Structure 1
Amino acid sequence: MSPSNLLLASLSPSDLAALEPRLKPASLQQMQTLYEAGDPISTVYFPTGAIISLVVALSTGEIVEAAMVGRDGVVGASSALDGKISLSRAIVQLSGPSLTCDVGVLKTLAMQSQSLLSLLIRHEQALYAQAQQSTACMASHHTDARFCRWMLRARDLSGSDTLNFTQEFLAEMLGVGRTHVTLVAHTLQAAGIIKYTRGKIHILDLEALREAACECYDTVNSNYRALLGGQY
């Protein structure tokens, strides 16, 4: 198996050799809930094509995305560090393949390898930093810049300029009303940056999208580059 997950690809040869036989392929479906907040974690996910959102659900029924994980990371690794339960809902944002591992197996291997343990800790730090950045982004940046930042990260993790997202889903992830997302999508489409058809967004001008995104996109990327080095 040649891992297309960048975190796995960054493992030392010995760590990868120990973990690789324990990995199992899985197909994740859009809107599939992997964990609810408070659920015990039994399976760890290393996405290879799917994208997973970690979201916070409010009593009003609204949900807000705290972090996005794809082929650059892992979901549920905190359980191998004695986290035991999920602190947020993990929902599949974009369908695709993933590799999975039993949490007990990953914990055992991490306790036997300082390098693997260190990598998992650094990943959780990067994930925490991403959640902090998302909080600052929601408080300080306009919806249009946040929309562009979100689209760029989804593009990076999917490896495609075509993304299957409804406006309702985007509004939920950004924590805004659908009318805000509709307005931003129309503005970007009029500028020739994206093309939006029902449930599908095509990125037409990547450079313009980057210029329109807020600084949070580069900040999150910097954190993951520090984690994965040349792999990211």
Structure 2
Amino acid sequence: MLQLNAILASLPEGDKAALKPHLKATHLQQKTVLFETGDTITAVYFPTSAVVSLVSTLTTGEMTEAAMVGRDGAVGIASALDGKVAMCRAIVQLGGDAMVCDPSAFRSAAMQSEKLISKIMRHEQTLFAQAQQSTACMANHEVDARLCRWLLRARDLAGADQLPFTQEFLAEMLGVRRPSVTTVARTLQEAGIIKYRRGHIEIVDVEALRESACECYETVRGQYEQLLGAPLGS
């Protein structure tokens, strides 16, 4: 199972051996909230097939995604560096499996390994860069290009062309109104790029989706490659 998460798979054998007794397999249900803003982080998650969105929420209930984490990363990993208070909401975007570790056990292992500390720091850098890119994307790019970028990222992390998303959920993640997503989804379907039915999207033409996406998709892929190794997806 450790090989299914890029962070765990990239660790030296000594670090894997130190962590393995503390890692437990779990299944994360879609729409489960792992923690809310201000919560104390009580678990570190290493997704193997699940995908988690890190979102900022407003008092009105509206939310916008800052970053997306899947088998290329971890959720709550900063707790190893005393980052015990959550700065955002973590919600399971795609249900699936993950390895979970107690933060204190993970911190103990990290304190014994410079390489693990370095990996944690680079992961947090990458998340921060992804959040910055998301902010720039929202301010400067049209909804159609942003949706294409988002679907490509979700596809990379899910490792599948079939994505169980409602238009309402997509609108929340992109910070737009649902009619905007409906219009774009219809246009993409008419172009033969996706097939859409209620609560389900199938990516039909990946290359056309890439051509329609904004530059942020490749930028984020490049950041992951630079800081954490080869990017996911093809």
TM-score, length-scaled by structure 2:
0.97
Q: Secondary structure at the match of 1:97?
A: strand
Aligned residue runs from structure 1 range 124-203, under 5 A: 124-203=124-203
Aligned residue runs from structure 1 range 75-154, under 5 A: 75-154=75-154
Contact 2:2 2:8 in 1 (8 A): no
Name 1:53's counterpart in structure 2. Answer: 53
Unaligned runs of 5+ in 1: none
Cα distance in structure 2, aligned partners of 1:140 and 1:55: 19
Q: Could you tell me which amino acid in structure 2 is paired with residue 90 of structure 1?
A: A
State whether structure 2 residue 25 is matched by structure 1 residue 25. yes
State whether structure 2 residue 57 is matched by structure 1 residue 42. no
Name 2:220's counterpart in structure 1. Answer: 220
Cα distance in structure 2, aligned partners of 1:183 and 1:231: 31
Cα distance in structure 1, aligned partners of 2:81 and 2:149: 30
Contact 1:9 1:231 in 2 (8 A): no
Cα distance in structure 2, aligned partners of 1:230 and 1:32: 29
Q: Deviations over 1:167-191 (max 9, x none)?
A: 0000000000000000000000000
Cα distance in structure 1, aligned partners of 2:196 and 2:230: 33
Displacement of 1:60 in angstroms is: 1.6
Higher mean displacement: 17-26 or 150-159: 17-26
Q: Deviations over 1:17-62 (max 9, x none)?
A: 2112211011001110000000001100000000000001111210
The alignment covers a number of residue pairs equal to: 232
Q: Secondary structure at the match of 1:104?
A: helix
Unaligned runs of 5+ in 2: none
Q: Could you tell me which amino acid in structure 2 is paired with residue 222 of structure 1?
A: G
Q: Secondary structure at the match of 1:3?
A: helix
- Identical amino acids, percent of aligned pairs: 62
RMSD after superposition:
1.0
Name 1:7's counterpart in structure 2. Answer: 7
Cα distance in structure 1, aligned partners of 2:229 and 2:153: 18
Q: Deviations over 1:81-129 (max 9, x none)?
A: 1111100000000000000000001101111100000000100000000
Q: Could you tell me which amino acid in structure 2 is paired with residue 109 of structure 1?
A: A
Displacement of 1:231 in angstroms is: 6.7
Q: Secondary structure at the match of 2:68?
A: strand
